[in-house]
């Protein structure tokens, strides 16, 4: 057996599986719902298990599109759980109330996207009139005993609801809320087609208002910050402000400290393997050939090296940098 190169991946704690390209939301920042068709099937996931065992994978994140639109999501989650993995669900929440009991049995963590604190804001961003349905789903999942967290994508339409998001998610029974800037600088994220254009980012005249809201959050919701109910520290929240300032041409993008491709990978609904959510892997890197082999191809190793060296432009504009101390 040939020796693996020095920068090969021998340990992969986390894998994200895109169970479905289809989605039941119609988000203005995403194109999965416009073009998505493919779904990852149970047999494909079963074929991943030898590689996951070999790589010591501990956590599988089921994402999309909307993973609950995959007709085999129960079987897939059960298979992974029975193999000893911790299974985490990322969902729009539209089907969560219907499936809350089963979700509570299969998933340790459920993260729900919630981009408005009222029906009108939610519908304007997510494209469907489902605010009450999603809130009901969050409550139902929390009542079922699962750890529910809420992810908010901050943008022009909802940034003034920064503090109300904290209060709403606490009332719904969620255990944490996190904030992320809407990604408008990476044209290929979220299955977007070439030429993505948007007016989702804050405008120059709104930056001071966001800064005031962050200061108010520090002052009036200090307890939620200190106990970790708000996932981000004030410093990380100000990275969101800097990102929007950079979009406006008034600042540089916040420096990125990320090694996600060193501890995680993404398998999409067609079975293609990528080093992270925002950067596509080589077009012919397929999970069916063995996830460990796909991740340790020469071109994938070179791609991770380029990411590590900071030479990929997507990284400089990333809204979701992650750092983990790797064993």
Name, in order, each residue with C-beta under 8 angstroms of 96's C-beta and a sequence gap of 6 or more: 68, 103, 110, 112, 134, 137, 138, 140, 141
Question: CA-CA distance, 267 to 230, in Å (whole number)?
Answer: 29
Strand partners, 177: 150, 230
The pTM of the full predicted model, rounded to 2 decimals, is 0.91
Name, in order, each residue with C-beta under 8 angstroms of 40's C-beta and a sequence gap of 6 or more: 17, 18, 19, 20, 70, 76, 267, 268, 269, 270, 271
Question: CA-CA distance, 15 to 2, in Å (whole number)?
Answer: 25
pLDDT reported for residue 26 = 74
pLDDT reported for residue 25 = 74
pLDDT one digit per residue (tens) for the chain, 327 residues: 343 445 789 999 999 999 999 888 777 766 655 566 799 999 999 999 999 999 999 999 999 889 999 999 999 999 999 999 999 999 999 999 999 999 999 999 999 999 999 999 999 999 899 999 999 999 999 999 999 999 999 999 999 999 999 999 999 999 999 999 998 876 555 444 554 456 899 999 999 999 999 999 999 999 999 999 999 999 999 999 999 999 999 999 999 888 999 999 999 999 999 999 889 999 999 999 899 999 999 999 999 999 988 888 888 888 887 888 754
Question: CA-CA distance, 106 to 86, in Å (whole number)?
Answer: 9
Return the ∠ at Cα 59 (arms to 58 and 64), rounded to 5°: 155
């Amino acid at each position: 057996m040939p020796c693996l190169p020095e920068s090969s991946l021998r340990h992969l704690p986390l894998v994200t599986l895109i169970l479905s390209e289809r989605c039941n939301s119609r988000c203005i920042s995403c194109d999965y719902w416009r073009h998505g068709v493919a779904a990852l099937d149970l047999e494909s996931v079963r074929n991943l298990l030898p590689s996951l065992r070999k790589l010591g994978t501990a956590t599988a994140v089921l994402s999309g599109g909307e993973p609950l639109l995959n007709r085999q999501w129960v079987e897939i989650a059960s298979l992974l759980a029975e193999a000893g993995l911790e299974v985490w669900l990322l969902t729009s929440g539209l089907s969560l109330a219907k499936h809350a009991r089963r979700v509570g049995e299969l998933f340790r963590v459920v993260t729900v996207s919630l981009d408005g604190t009222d029906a009108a804001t939610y519908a304007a961003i997510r494209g469907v009139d489902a605010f009450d349905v999603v809130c009901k789903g969050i409550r139902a999942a929390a009542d079922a005993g699962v750890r529910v967290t809420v992810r908010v994508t901050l943008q022009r339409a909802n940034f003034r609801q920064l503090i109300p998001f904290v209060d709403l998610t606490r009332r719904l029974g969620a255990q944490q809320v996190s904030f992320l800037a809407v990604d408008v600088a990476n044209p290929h994220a979220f299955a977007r087609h070439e030429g993505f254009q948007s007016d989702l980012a804050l405008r120059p005249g709104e930056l001071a208002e966001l800064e005031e809201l962050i200061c108010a959050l520090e002052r009036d919701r200090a307890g939620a910050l200190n106990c970790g109910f708000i996932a981000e520290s004030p410093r990380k929240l100000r990275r969101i402000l800097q990102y929007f300032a950079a979009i406006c041409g008034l600042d540089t993008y916040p420096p990125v400290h990320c090694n996600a491709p060193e501890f995680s990978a993404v398998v999409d609904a067609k079975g293609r393997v990528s080093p992270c959510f925002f950067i596509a892997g080589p077009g012919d890197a397929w999970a069916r050939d063995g996830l460990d082999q796909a991740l340790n191809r020469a071109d994938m190793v070179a791609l991770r090296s380029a990411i590590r060296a900071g030479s990929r432009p997507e990284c400089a504009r990333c809204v979701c940098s992650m750092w983990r101390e790797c064993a």
